[in-house]
Chain A
């Protein structure tokens, strides 16, 4: 094997009051794909910011050696000049500029200050082809999907003559199809001699593309494992991340025995929704599902399957254009035309995108928790602040939200703790039916377990739970029954005993070609 292209030695980085990196050593070999994994807040992103010059030389301790020489980057530009390019989790493309303009943004092909369009387009076409995109370089970024945008980012990196490509959770927002395309591209670039560092939560991805994996925990580099070796199992990596053996990733759960007689707590019949802009397109097509009290029902589907759209349109018509269908609660038809009506009927929808749709990040924990059900702590329109504080202190303790007080702004919490605030908020609303949309997305393994436990308790209390997820192991571990969706349609229904990853995935990918 080739020698190291990058060595980071005993990196220490402190922020006021927090030691983000205590002692991290990372060695990346020339031409490999090196994965970095660890729980949220372990220091992965900070480490990459140190490497790429976001945190300039002098603000950290330790040495960085790139291609055998000590480097001291004062900003991102300096690291890019050495061929180190980072692609952040949130894409940094300008939506109303073309692909070509984005690729060369800040790095334009220009003659005395004026853009050379011919060269720009030629070069852009070449780069786009290299990443497997055949879109015209003058297409606006806003008009292509997230998956393609990610590829444009890589094309942009290639334009900078990248030697070391850093990808921070590149597939977090992608569906399986786009994810696998992206991963294939990383392997393709590897053949062309480009070294990559990939930060990822998804262990199957790591197994697919990575040669080695470095595990970071609490600001320390714990170990570096050879992914190809037989001992490096997913459980092995997970136990490294959490620092304990993880026998049970899900709480023990006695499957629910459905009472055949009682009407389902929530039943959705023949539900159809059109796309908000492209009104010809059916995003949800004639879907009927039901969930009983005490039951956890999963909805599996790839991105674009219509799961979130189904949930949001039922929840106060918050998505798309309603085109038919009814909602029944305990066998009686109910109106859920506004969010307020849905909440009144005891339905809660916990969004997949807590930062944009779930929380007011600049406000405190207690005010976020009380918002949906303010009237519970208010008399005649006036909030009793003390009662509100007492209620949210209760949730802080019972949900194990890690914050000194409930007066902490939610934006300062980690992803897992934010998710616990969102859950508390909806539990406080006192729903009978909870629709949880990707409740464990982007949160670390420890917090996931805590959230599974809460979901389990909710079901045990007799609440009906709809669990939307794209992580099949989590659905298999938690649900009594699983529906599959593909391209807006319901494609299957499986009791826990019959469901396996393979069976579900087959239904989730069904009809995809036909409906296009």
Chain B
């Protein structure tokens, strides 16, 4: 996950770094220009950074303890998974209120399969994802092909799947899950190799990731030059690489000095990179932006809007199912009350991360940043033993401030 966050954050590098770079000159100016141009993109990232620093100070350094960073990932993984799917839905100009209930339903389904019927966990996993896909597909069909507003369809879905969950579990909590499934929510990568005081595989993965990202960046730059397009000046480019390296290494070392990378982090990382790539570079992703930005224009451009909408909801169903499995695995039980108000957290994450009510705007990275803002708030306030009452108040304010800032910033930049 850290890959993508840092991948596009050259400007978020601490100012101290610029001294280490090759040339000075107009470098600071370049950074400032870049910042100004991408205010929306970097604004939230900077806010997240400030939030981390703030809580790091308040908690006396507890926030960034390796064990807590690990926890932070585990606690927020399912919201982040949902936020990715939700971001797609919101970009397409829709909303999905049913994801919390689908999450609970799939968790219950998994429990019934593995606990009551002793189905092997890999089979159960596939079946659960399929159930999520069906749930998403049915809702997507109603929205895309029958034209029922998504708010209504998914509100109905929210009630329906919550009810089905209770029916399936007969109001009881069901557990425990087989080991394999538990690992998905709680597990870490296995420890192998010589004792280095660090988690070896995590270290290796971190280095591999770093090499991959740097290589990609260099290749990308070459491609741009091939097409004789303007490229970022070399010193800024180098600075960006240094910033990426610093961030990747920091997170790697933090995780490696505890139990290693959580398995869910790897899953999440793959999702973020994959979906980020799809939304930016795949024809499918472009079509999502097109229908959300201006539906009639997209139709007249030959975009198959119904199919795209349908697939977006189907995808949301699959991701909700995945989140459901992770939640159930983490609690090691399926509960009728699982996933309550998850849809709202996912929606809040998307809006904090720069989505627009009217659709057409937003990035997967933004959803993750938004989710992390909420996650850090949760975690930090827990460490400071703030009550859940005040936590709610503060999270509500955070959403308002984030979106308010966005609106203000947009108005200022010209209307």
Contact = CB atoms under 8 A, between A and B. Distances in A.
Given A356-B294, A362-B360, A382 B281 contact: yes
A425 B298 CA distance: 12
A318 B282 CA distance: 26
Interface in A349-389: 349, 351, 356-363, 367, 370-372, 374-375, 378, 381-387, 389
B283 A383 contact: yes
B227 interface: yes
A358 B301 CA distance: 8
B227 to A, nearest CB: 4
A145 interface: no
B286 A371 contact: yes
Contacts of B412: 16
B282 A340 contact: no
A393 B301 contact: no
Contacts of A136: none
Q: Determine which residue in A359, A363, A367, A383 has the highest number of CB atoms from chain B within 10 A of its CB, and name it.
A: A363
Interface centre among A16, A382, A389 (most CB of B within 10 A): A382
B297 A359 contact: yes
B284 interface: yes
Contact of B300 (A315, A381, A389): A315
A343 interface: yes
Contacts of A358: 297, 300
Contacts of A316: 300, 302
Contacts of A383: 281-283, 286
Interface string A380-409: 011111110110010000000000000000
B227 A356 contact: no
Give the size range of B's interface with the partner.
Answer: 20 to 34
A492 B3 CA distance: 66
Contacts of A318: 299-300
Interface residues of A, number: 39
Given A339-B301, A343-B302, A371-B301, A361 B293 contact: yes
B294 A360 contact: yes
Contacts of A382: 277, 281-283
Contact of A378 (B283, B302, B361): B283
B34 to A, nearest CB: 13
B414 A372 contact: no
Interface in A308-347: 315-316, 318, 338-340, 342-343
B404 interface: no
B414 A349 contact: no
Interface in B320-346: none
Contact of A357 (B223, B228, B300, B302): B300
B414 A360 contact: no
A363 B298 CA distance: 12
A15 interface: yes
Given A367-B286, A412-B414, A386 B293 contact: no
B282 A381 contact: yes
B317 to A, nearest CB: 22
Interface string B377-415: 000000000000000000000000000000000001010
B283 A372 contact: no
A80 B119 CA distance: 75
Given A386-B229, A390-B227, A339 B299 contact: yes
A361 B294 CA distance: 8
A217 B283 CA distance: 43
Given A360-B293, A360-B298, A385-B281, A371 B303 contact: yes
B11 interface: no
A393 B224 CA distance: 13
A1 to B, nearest CB: 40
Nearest to A367: B286
Contact of B297 (A338, A357, A384): A357
A351 B229 contact: no
Nearest to B412: A16
A367 B414 contact: no
Contacts of B298: 360, 371
Interface string B228-242: 110000000000000
Given A371-B286, A386-B223, A387-B227, A356 B296 contact: yes
A393 B228 CA distance: 11
A384 B30 CA distance: 26
B224 A351 contact: no
B282 A372 contact: no
B360 A360 contact: yes
Interface in A289-321: 315-316, 318
A349 B297 CA distance: 11
A15 B282 CA distance: 38
A343 B282 CA distance: 20
Nearest to A378: B283
A87 B118 CA distance: 72
Contacts of A351: 300
B259 to A, nearest CB: 36
Most buried by B among A367, A374, A390: A374
A424 B227 CA distance: 20
A363 B300 contact: no
B304 interface: yes
Nearest to A17: B414
11 contacts: A340-B302, A343-B302, A356-B294, A356-B297, A363-B290, A370-B286, A374-B286, A381-B282, A382-B282, A393-B229, A425-B301
Given A339-B301, A359-B294, 12 more contacts: A315-B300, A339-B300, A339-B302, A342-B302, A349-B300, A360-B298, A360-B360, A378-B283, A383-B286, A386-B226, A386-B229, A387-B227
Interface of A: 15-16, 315-316, 318, 338-340, 342-343, 349, 351, 356-363, 367, 370-372, 374-375, 378, 381-387, 389-390, 393, 412, 425
The 4 A-B residue pairs whose C-beta atoms are closest, nearest first, are A360-B293, A360-B294, A339-B302, A372-B301
